[in-house]
Amino acid sequence: MSPRLLGMAMMVGASLCFSGMGVSFRLAMEEGLPIAFVPFARSVFTLALIAPWLLRQGVAGMVTRRPWVMVARCAAGLVTFQSWMYALLLLPLADAVSIAQSRPLWAIPLAALFLSERVRRDRVLAALVGFCLEHDIEWIDCQQNTRHLASLGAHEVERKAFTTWLDQVTEKAAPSWQFNSVYWDRVSRLR
Protein backbone atom coordinates (compact mmCIF):
# COMPACT_ATOMS: atom_id res chain seq x y z
CA MET A 1 0.00 0.00 0.00
CA SER A 2 1.34 3.42 -0.90
CA PRO A 3 2.20 5.81 1.95
CA ARG A 4 -0.46 8.29 0.79
CA LEU A 5 -3.18 5.63 0.65
CA LEU A 6 -2.12 4.35 4.06
CA GLY A 7 -2.19 7.92 5.38
CA MET A 8 -5.71 8.46 4.03
CA ALA A 9 -6.88 5.17 5.56
CA MET A 10 -5.37 6.20 8.90
CA MET A 11 -7.19 9.56 8.75
CA VAL A 12 -10.52 7.84 8.07
CA GLY A 13 -9.87 5.46 10.96
CA ALA A 14 -8.89 8.36 13.21
CA SER A 15 -12.08 10.25 12.29
CA LEU A 16 -14.20 7.23 13.21
CA CYS A 17 -12.34 6.81 16.50
CA PHE A 18 -12.67 10.52 17.34
CA SER A 19 -16.41 10.38 16.64
CA GLY A 20 -16.80 7.37 18.93
CA MET A 21 -14.67 9.07 21.55
CA GLY A 22 -16.84 12.19 21.36
CA VAL A 23 -20.00 10.17 21.89
CA SER A 24 -18.42 8.34 24.83
CA PHE A 25 -17.20 11.51 26.49
CA ARG A 26 -20.52 13.26 26.05
CA LEU A 27 -22.44 10.34 27.55
CA ALA A 28 -20.03 10.19 30.50
CA MET A 29 -20.33 13.94 31.14
CA GLU A 30 -24.12 13.82 30.89
CA GLU A 31 -24.04 11.06 33.52
CA GLY A 32 -22.16 13.41 35.86
CA LEU A 33 -18.45 12.88 35.15
CA PRO A 34 -16.77 16.25 35.92
CA ILE A 35 -15.37 17.88 32.79
CA ALA A 36 -11.98 18.48 34.42
CA PHE A 37 -11.69 14.75 35.16
CA VAL A 38 -12.00 13.67 31.51
CA PRO A 39 -8.43 14.60 30.46
CA PHE A 40 -7.11 12.85 33.58
CA ALA A 41 -9.05 9.66 32.77
CA ARG A 42 -7.86 9.79 29.17
CA SER A 43 -4.25 10.20 30.31
CA VAL A 44 -4.49 7.22 32.68
CA PHE A 45 -5.79 5.06 29.82
CA THR A 46 -3.03 6.31 27.52
CA LEU A 47 -0.39 5.64 30.18
CA ALA A 48 -1.66 2.07 30.50
CA LEU A 49 -1.25 1.62 26.75
CA ILE A 50 2.31 2.97 26.60
CA ALA A 51 3.50 1.47 29.92
CA PRO A 52 5.18 -1.55 28.29
CA TRP A 53 7.16 0.75 25.99
CA LEU A 54 8.07 3.04 28.90
CA LEU A 55 9.24 0.11 31.01
CA ARG A 56 11.41 -1.16 28.14
CA GLN A 57 12.86 2.25 27.15
CA GLY A 58 12.95 3.96 30.52
CA VAL A 59 13.22 7.72 30.95
CA ALA A 60 15.81 7.82 28.13
CA GLY A 61 13.00 7.12 25.65
CA MET A 62 11.35 10.43 26.53
CA VAL A 63 14.42 12.68 26.32
CA THR A 64 14.12 15.46 23.78
CA ARG A 65 16.49 18.16 22.57
CA ARG A 66 13.74 20.77 22.93
CA PRO A 67 11.86 20.11 26.17
CA TRP A 68 10.10 23.50 26.15
CA VAL A 69 8.56 22.72 22.78
CA MET A 70 7.13 19.54 24.31
CA VAL A 71 5.87 21.47 27.34
CA ALA A 72 4.18 23.99 25.03
CA ARG A 73 2.71 21.15 22.98
CA CYS A 74 1.33 19.49 26.12
CA ALA A 75 -0.16 22.76 27.37
CA ALA A 76 -1.76 23.44 23.99
CA GLY A 77 -3.08 19.88 23.89
CA LEU A 78 -4.60 20.20 27.35
CA VAL A 79 -6.35 23.48 26.52
CA THR A 80 -7.53 22.05 23.20
CA PHE A 81 -8.88 18.89 24.78
CA GLN A 82 -10.63 20.77 27.60
CA SER A 83 -12.21 23.14 25.05
CA TRP A 84 -13.32 20.14 22.98
CA MET A 85 -15.01 18.65 26.08
CA TYR A 86 -16.92 21.87 26.76
CA ALA A 87 -17.97 22.02 23.10
CA LEU A 88 -19.22 18.42 23.24
CA LEU A 89 -21.28 19.20 26.30
CA LEU A 90 -22.69 22.53 25.14
CA LEU A 91 -23.29 22.02 21.42
CA PRO A 92 -25.27 19.40 19.57
CA LEU A 93 -22.82 16.60 18.77
CA ALA A 94 -23.22 17.07 15.01
CA ASP A 95 -22.31 20.78 15.31
CA ALA A 96 -19.26 20.11 17.48
CA VAL A 97 -17.98 17.43 15.11
CA SER A 98 -18.70 19.58 12.06
CA ILE A 99 -16.73 22.49 13.48
CA ALA A 100 -13.89 20.15 14.43
CA GLN A 101 -13.78 18.84 10.88
CA SER A 102 -12.74 22.30 9.67
CA ARG A 103 -9.26 21.63 11.11
CA PRO A 104 -7.74 20.88 7.67
CA LEU A 105 -8.54 24.45 6.64
CA TRP A 106 -6.40 25.66 9.54
CA ALA A 107 -3.73 22.99 9.14
CA ILE A 108 -2.79 24.03 5.61
CA PRO A 109 -1.72 27.62 6.39
CA LEU A 110 -0.24 26.63 9.75
CA ALA A 111 1.86 23.88 8.13
CA ALA A 112 3.19 26.41 5.64
CA LEU A 113 3.85 29.00 8.34
CA PHE A 114 5.41 26.85 11.06
CA LEU A 115 6.71 23.78 9.25
CA SER A 116 7.76 25.49 6.01
CA GLU A 117 5.73 22.97 4.02
CA ARG A 118 5.03 23.79 0.42
CA VAL A 119 1.31 24.41 -0.10
CA ARG A 120 0.08 23.52 -3.56
CA ARG A 121 -3.04 24.94 -5.12
CA ASP A 122 -4.61 21.52 -5.62
CA ARG A 123 -4.40 20.78 -1.86
CA VAL A 124 -5.99 24.10 -1.00
CA LEU A 125 -8.75 23.51 -3.55
CA ALA A 126 -9.36 19.98 -2.28
CA ALA A 127 -9.62 21.21 1.33
CA LEU A 128 -11.97 24.00 0.27
CA VAL A 129 -14.19 21.64 -1.73
CA GLY A 130 -14.27 19.16 1.17
CA PHE A 131 -15.24 21.94 3.56
CA CYS A 132 -18.00 23.12 1.23
CA LEU A 133 -19.37 19.60 0.85
CA GLU A 134 -19.28 19.08 4.63
CA HIS A 135 -21.26 22.30 5.18
CA ASP A 136 -23.79 21.89 2.37
CA ILE A 137 -22.40 24.72 0.26
CA GLU A 138 -23.90 23.80 -3.08
CA TRP A 139 -22.02 25.97 -5.54
CA ILE A 140 -18.57 27.48 -5.82
CA ASP A 141 -18.05 30.04 -8.56
CA CYS A 142 -14.60 29.02 -9.81
CA GLN A 143 -14.48 31.28 -12.89
CA GLN A 144 -12.32 28.73 -14.67
CA ASN A 145 -12.45 25.25 -16.13
CA THR A 146 -9.51 23.01 -15.29
CA ARG A 147 -8.96 19.24 -15.26
CA HIS A 148 -8.26 19.40 -11.54
CA LEU A 149 -11.54 21.14 -10.75
CA ALA A 150 -13.34 18.64 -12.98
CA SER A 151 -11.74 15.78 -11.01
CA LEU A 152 -13.26 17.30 -7.86
CA GLY A 153 -16.73 17.31 -9.45
CA ALA A 154 -16.79 20.82 -10.88
CA HIS A 155 -18.58 21.42 -14.15
CA GLU A 156 -19.61 24.37 -16.23
CA VAL A 157 -23.02 25.87 -15.57
CA GLU A 158 -24.93 27.94 -18.08
CA ARG A 159 -25.17 31.60 -17.17
CA LYS A 160 -28.99 31.47 -16.96
CA ALA A 161 -28.91 28.58 -14.45
CA PHE A 162 -26.28 30.36 -12.36
CA THR A 163 -28.16 33.68 -12.25
CA THR A 164 -31.41 31.87 -11.38
CA TRP A 165 -29.69 30.08 -8.49
CA LEU A 166 -28.06 33.34 -7.38
CA ASP A 167 -31.45 35.10 -7.34
CA GLN A 168 -32.92 32.33 -5.20
CA VAL A 169 -30.07 32.43 -2.71
CA THR A 170 -30.11 36.21 -2.34
CA GLU A 171 -33.88 36.20 -1.74
CA LYS A 172 -33.46 34.11 1.41
CA ALA A 173 -33.52 36.00 4.68
CA ALA A 174 -30.15 36.76 6.18
CA PRO A 175 -29.30 34.70 9.26
CA SER A 176 -30.04 36.27 12.61
CA TRP A 177 -26.86 37.35 14.34
CA GLN A 178 -28.48 38.18 17.65
CA PHE A 179 -26.64 36.88 20.70
CA ASN A 180 -28.36 33.90 22.30
CA SER A 181 -27.11 33.42 25.84
CA VAL A 182 -28.19 29.79 26.13
CA TYR A 183 -24.62 28.47 25.79
CA TRP A 184 -23.18 31.11 28.10
CA ASP A 185 -25.84 30.27 30.69
CA ARG A 186 -24.86 26.58 30.52
CA VAL A 187 -21.17 27.39 30.99
CA SER A 188 -21.82 29.68 33.94
CA ARG A 189 -23.80 26.91 35.69
CA LEU A 190 -20.81 24.53 35.38
CA ARG A 191 -18.66 26.61 37.70
**Cα–chain center distance at 56:** 34
Q: Domain-by-domain residue ranges, the chain?
A: 3-101
- Specify the pLDDT at position 181: 53
CA distance 131 to 148: 17
39, 82 in Cβ contact below 8 A?
yes
- Specify the pLDDT at position 70: 87
Q: Is the pLDDT of residue 113 over 50?
A: yes
53 burial type by CB count under 10 A (0-12 exposed, 13-18 middle, 19+ buried): exposed
CA distance 85 to 31: 14
Q: Is the pLDDT of residue 2 over 60?
A: yes
Q: Which of 69, 87, 77 is nearest to 22 (CA)?
A: 87
Q: Is the pLDDT of residue 177 over 70?
A: no
Q: Does residue 68 or residue 184 have the better pLDDT? A: 68
3-state secondary structure of 142: coil
Q: Which of 128, 124, 130, 98 is nearest to 109 (CA)?
A: 124
- Specify the pLDDT at position 191: 45
Q: What does the buried/exposed string (b/e) look like for 152-169 if buried means 16 or more CB atoms within 10 Å of the residue's CB?
A: bebeeeeeeeeeeeeeee
**Cα–chain center distance at 23:** 15
pLDDT tens-digit readout, 18-36 = 788 888 888 888 888 888 8
- Percentage above 90 pLDDT, the chain: 2
Q: Is the pLDDT of residue 83 over 80?
A: yes
- Percentage above 70 pLDDT, the chain: 83
Ranges of H-type helices in the chain: 3-30, 37-57, 67-90, 93-100, 103-115, 121-134, 147-151, 159-171, 182-190
Regarding pTM above 0.85, the answer is no
140 Cβ neighbours under 8 A, 6+ residues apart: 128, 129, 132, 154
